[in-house]
Amino acid sequence: MDRWNGKIAVVTGAGSGNGAAITKDLLRNYIKVIGLDINLEALENLKRTISNNFKENFFAKKCNVTDFAEVDAVFEWIFSNFDGIDILVNNAGVARDGNLCTMDPKDVQFILNTNVMGYVHCTRKAFINMKTRKFDGHIILINSALGHRVVPLGNSMSVNIYAPSKFAITAMTEIYREEFFSEGTKIKITSISPGMVHTPMIGEEVKEKVKNILYPEDIAQAVIYAISTPPHVQIHEISLKPFGEPV
């Protein structure tokens, strides 16, 4: 991890859940973190929970990853105020209730814009910056177990377009791996696919029904493991499931 001391990480969806836990673990490893979130208040609340030893290395910026103009502006601010981006954690994600066959197309589009296009645009900005600087950075895509296998959740719940959006991340990971290499870089790409995680995205009713569940800190540890590998090792996919998960 010594190579990352003082380096710059960008975490999308940093205000809560997995993003907040990942941010804290990166900070504890002496990495400067620029936390992006659509909810600036959530970022400010996160900052209040960060140890005083690391507060000065956390920078909060409001950013809606579905708004390409806003993403461009935030990344230009980053490029103007820091040496560049060394680690990108694409974490911002959303889910909506409803059956795919009947749900509002606007909800479907919002999920795809956040979970897929948000990753595409942020990855593009980070990759070009890393390649231009000739820096062997690392890009993390927070995926899901539902991005590898669709598991029925029962009559009262549907994974609707959320699962296909995560299947896209699985395919994108392989495409990025090949493209990063063909572009002559040593930039790494890692997909992290957890099962159900105790985050605000999961409703309280669901949390009460589920006996086996992961926590954001578990996902954060996987991120640290992936970026701690030596230059010749690339962790392509990490799959996490809570012990005893039935499927």
Cβ contact 27:225 at 8 Å: no
Domain 2-240 sits in CATH at 3.40.50.720
- Between 178 and 208, the higher pLDDT residue: 178
pTM of full prediction above 0.85: yes
pLDDT score for 198: 86
Task: Identify the band that residue 246 occupies on the pLDDT scale cut at 50, 70 and 90.
Answer: low
Q: What is the pLDDT of residue 210?
A: 64
The answer to whether residues 107 and 95 touch, using CB atoms and an 8 Å cutoff, is: no
For residue 151, what pLDDT is reported?
81
Catalytic residue among 30, 119, 162, 215: 162
To the query of whether residue 162 is one of the catalytic residues in this protein, the response is yes
**What mean pLDDT comes out for the span 222-244?**
95
pLDDT (0 to 100) of residue 158 = 85
Residue-wise pLDDT tens digits, 111-156: 999 999 999 999 999 999 999 999 999 999 999 999 999 987 655 5
Reply yes or no on whether the pLDDT at 203 is more than 90.
no
